Amino acid sequence: MAVSTCVKCNGHSFEVVLFTPIGDNRKLSIVQCSSCGTPIGMMDPATGLQIEALKAQVAAIDDRLSRIAKALQDSRRGAIGESGLEYDGLWSNAALLSKNERLAGSESCVPNAVNIF
């Protein structure tokens, strides 16, 4: 990957600053070398507002995804709490046997079953 380099001082770090042209009252955003201040390029003034709007949208999406993840975790905890078993996507025969034993309240409710717990 290429590294951007300042043509004046060979620096590699840049910053966006507000600039007011002589005889004008509006501010423009320019990209300049953070070491020597040499202007490298100019940004459209509306770009900053668009970037801020996109940041807000990304933050809202991130918030919604966090709420969805929490709801999924809570619903999974509810399933674990009801059965007393942790669900890993597939109920194993041993886990089902153990659950059946607890429900029946006996040593085993399945004939010839081996209690492995």
Asked, for residue 36, whether it belongs to a domain, the answer is yes
- pLDDT surpasses 80 at 103: no
Using alpha carbons, select from 105, 76, 97 the residue that is nearest to residue 88: 76
φ/ψ (deg, to 5) at 43: -110, 150
Asked, for residue 88, whether it belongs to a domain, the answer is no
Asked, for residue 78, whether it belongs to a domain, the answer is no
Asked, for residue 48, whether it belongs to a domain, the answer is no
Q: Which domain holds residue 20?
A: 1-43
Asked, for residue 55, whether it belongs to a domain, the answer is no
Asked, for residue 20, whether it belongs to a domain, the answer is yes
Instruction: Provide the residue type at 91 as one letter.
Output: W
- pLDDT surpasses 70 at 30: yes
Give residue-wise pLDDT tens across range 36-66: 999 999 887 777 778 888 999 999 999 999 9
Q: What is the pLDDT of residue 2?
A: 85
Q: What is the pLDDT of residue 102?
A: 52
The model's pTM is 0.39
Which of 29-40 are b and which e, b meaning 16 or more Cβ less than 10 Å from the residue's Cβ?
A: bbebbeeeeeee
Asked, for residue 76, whether it belongs to a domain, the answer is no
**pLDDT band at 91; cut points 50, 70, 90:** very low
Q: What is the pLDDT of residue 80?
A: 56
Asked, for residue 19, whether it belongs to a domain, the answer is yes
